[in-house]
A = this chain, B = another copy of it.
Amino acid sequence: MDAIAQPLPEETSTIADRVFGQLRLAIVEGKIPAGSKISEPETAARLGISRGPLREAMRRLEACNLVERRPNIGARVITLSNEQLIEIYLIREALEGMAARLAAERMSTAGIKDIKALLEQHRREIARDDWQAYFQKEGDMDFHYRIVQGSGNQRLIGILCDDLYHLARMYRCQFGMVSNRARDALKEHELIVDAIAERDGELAELMMRRHIRASRQNVERQLATDTTT
């Protein structure tokens, strides 16, 4: 179901790899509070491991921009600001636009059929009860995930699926962001897939960018009214 969780084989042989996945999940889901310090002795003891593998995992988290580290002081979970959320949306607009273009050129017809089936399922879910917005939001990520996979560009896939999507999920988990535009989003998704099915890369990119831009502007509106930070 959850396509994002896939990159973790969960039975990797080395402790450092496993702990990296655990910590990333804990940070993304907010089980380790944003901005909190991660003490090496305490964390190592809690996980029942030594500090060596833990430090290796921390270095990878640092490279993913999930923790900030200062020499001789320690590592803290990043704090989420509204500005950074907007930054991510802008990058996604550019990157996923390109992904949609490439997917239109290179995706297999079978893959396109799969996505259409996914959207059909989303349509049924939304028709049943609209309030399941959060669930739909995860479905939204599923959709984007598949488009990116369809691009076939390994490095593009890596940037989005290994780093940015985790960050986006972190924002969703922590701010409890609920989409109030599930219907509009589904409509836009369908237009994107139509363009891909027509092998119209230019249109697919245009539609994807417009879709993500709309999401961003929606978030910006919410942030402006919610709390004046």
Give the residues in chain B near A59, CB-CB below 8 Å: 16, 56-57, 59-60, 63
Q: Determine if B13 and A72 form an interchain contact, defined as CB atoms under 8 angstroms apart.
A: yes
Residues facing B in A26-70 (CB within 8 A) are 52, 55-57, 59-60, 62-65
Q: How many copies does the complex hold?
A: 2
Partner pick for A52 among B52, B57, B155, CB 8 A cutoff: B52
Partner pick for A87 among B52, B71, B153, CB 8 A cutoff: B153
Tell me if A3 counts as interface (CB < 8 A to partner B). Answer: no
Tell me if A180 counts as interface (CB < 8 A to partner B). Answer: no
Partner pick for A159 among B16, B56, B159, CB 8 A cutoff: B159
* Complexed CA–CA distance, A60 and B16 (Å): 13
Q: Total interface residues on A, using CB and 8 Å?
A: 34
Q: Determine if B98 and A155 form an interchain contact, defined as CB atoms under 8 angstroms apart.
A: no
Task: Quote the shortest CB–CB distance from A54 to chain B (angstroms).
Answer: 11
Of chain B, the residue at the smallest CB distance from A153 is B87
* Complexed CA–CA distance, A103 and B35 (Å): 30
Q: Determine if A14 and B94 form an interchain contact, defined as CB atoms under 8 angstroms apart.
A: no
* Complexed CA–CA distance, A65 and B14 (Å): 19
* Complexed CA–CA distance, A93 and B94 (Å): 9
Of chain B, the residue at the smallest CB distance from A20 is B59
Q: Which 8 A-B pairs have the closest CB atoms?
A: A63-B63, A94-B98, A94-B94, A13-B71, A59-B59, A56-B59, A87-B155, A14-B71
